[in-house]
């Protein structure tokens, strides 16, 4: 157990999640102020003493991504200048995670840039959920805890009506993720192979595994424009039956995704977590939101107490 007081603060991106976590831990949420000036500059201030304290700062980096990231960096600077003992950054949805390598010449590796910024601004530890590429943890030279909400989402599908289902990986890159769901639920696995013709356009080339007569449960790390929903045609052409469901950690949910949920009667349920706040206008009838707060509170408590969190991490 650390001899330094545990304090939890949060930026402006997800105050609801921060309050859930602090309520579960029985500690108050720290006081801080974020203001946006008329010229769009961001101002942050810590409204209480944090000298020699162990800080856990919660800030998810959803839309507007750059504002959320800049606010986080400014808070890191403020905590460092205020002589905090340690600053563990909790980023449920890590920004720029899909820009993790060069796919063409002269491109920035944006995820590495974000890692450098966090580290140089004084982060002692970084915690995130179901990042697009787990190898991003190697971009850091400080402790990184890559957590997963897979167990939370899988629990939803332990109901009897899903016993004749099949776990579907929408591409080869998500096969490892899908394999974990299949193992937890004791269901068969199907992998879709697709080719990306542009940053916004993908096409399924073939499907590996038998989906005939089974109900598809498609799993992924995030849903933004909803391109994964367009792959349903291929699944039903290969023999899928019954209503389709999805288990996806990060609900970015751009308007095109919500439109496809409306228009496709084959989709029964989209189960997501609250790594990103879901505003009222995005609370679609087919959407089910599961809170990561109990898991996150447990992780913070374990880290602060010096207890292992290995079984909660994505290690492959």
Residues written for the chain: 316
The whole-angstrom separation of Cα 258 and Cα 74 is: 33
The whole-angstrom separation of Cα 20 and Cα 41 is: 29
What is the Cα 274 distance to its own chain's centre? 8
Closest CA to 32 of 16, 43, 20: 43
User: In sequence order, which residues have a C-beta less than 8 Å from that of residue 45 and are 6 or more positions away?
Assistant: 32, 33, 78
8 A C-beta contact, residue 264 and residue 232: yes
Closest CA to 67 of 129, 130, 12: 12
DSSP state of 163: T
What is the Cα 191 distance to its own chain's centre? 22
8 A C-beta contact, residue 273 and residue 267: no
As annotated, the active-site residues are 194
Both tokens assigned to 283 = 């609370």
The whole-angstrom separation of Cα 30 and Cα 196 is: 45
For 135, the 3-state DSSP assignment is helix
Count of CB atoms within 10 A of residue 300's CB? 24
**Hey, which bits of 182-234 come out as E strands?**
189-198, 201-208, 215-223
């Amino acid at each position: 157990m650390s001899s330094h007081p545990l304090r939890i603060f949060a930026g402006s991106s997800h105050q609801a999640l921060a309050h859930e976590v602090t309520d579960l831990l029985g500690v108050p949420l720290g006081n801080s102020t974020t203001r946006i000036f008329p010229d769009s500059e961001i101002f942050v201030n810590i409204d209480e003493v944090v000298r020699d304290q162990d800080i856990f700062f919660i800030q998810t980096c959803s839309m507007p991504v750059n504002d959320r990231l800049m606010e986080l960096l400014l808070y890191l600077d403020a905590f460092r200048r205020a002589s905090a003992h340690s600053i563990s950054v909790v980023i449920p949805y890590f920004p720029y995670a899909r820009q993790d390598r060069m796919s063409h010449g002269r491109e920035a590796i944006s995820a590495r840039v974000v890692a450098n910024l966090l580290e140089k601004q004084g982060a002692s530890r970084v915690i995130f959920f179901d990042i697009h590429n787990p190898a991003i943890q190697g971009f850091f030279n400080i402790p990184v805890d890559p957590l997963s909400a897979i167990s939370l989402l899988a629990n939803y599908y332990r109901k009897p009506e899903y016993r004749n289902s099949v776990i579907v990986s929408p591409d080869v890159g998500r096969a490892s993720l899908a394999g974990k769901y299949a193992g937890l639920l004791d269901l068969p696995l199907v992998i879709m192979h697709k080719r990306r013709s542009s940053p916004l356009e993908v096409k399924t080339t073939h499907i590996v595994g038998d989906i005939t007569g089974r109900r598809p449960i498609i799993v992924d790390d995030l849903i933004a424009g909803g391109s994964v929903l367009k792959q349903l045609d291929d699944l039903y052409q290969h023999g899928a039956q019954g209503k389709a469901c999805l288990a996806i950690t990060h609900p970015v949910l751009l308007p095109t995704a919500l439109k496809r949920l409306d228009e496709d009667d084959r989709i029964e349920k989209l189960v997501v977590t609250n790594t990103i706040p879901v505003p009222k206008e995005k609370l679609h009838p087919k959407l089910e939101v599961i809170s990561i707060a109990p898991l996150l509170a447990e992780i913070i408590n374990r880290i602060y107490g010096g207890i292992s969190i290995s079984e909660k991490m994505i290690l492959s």
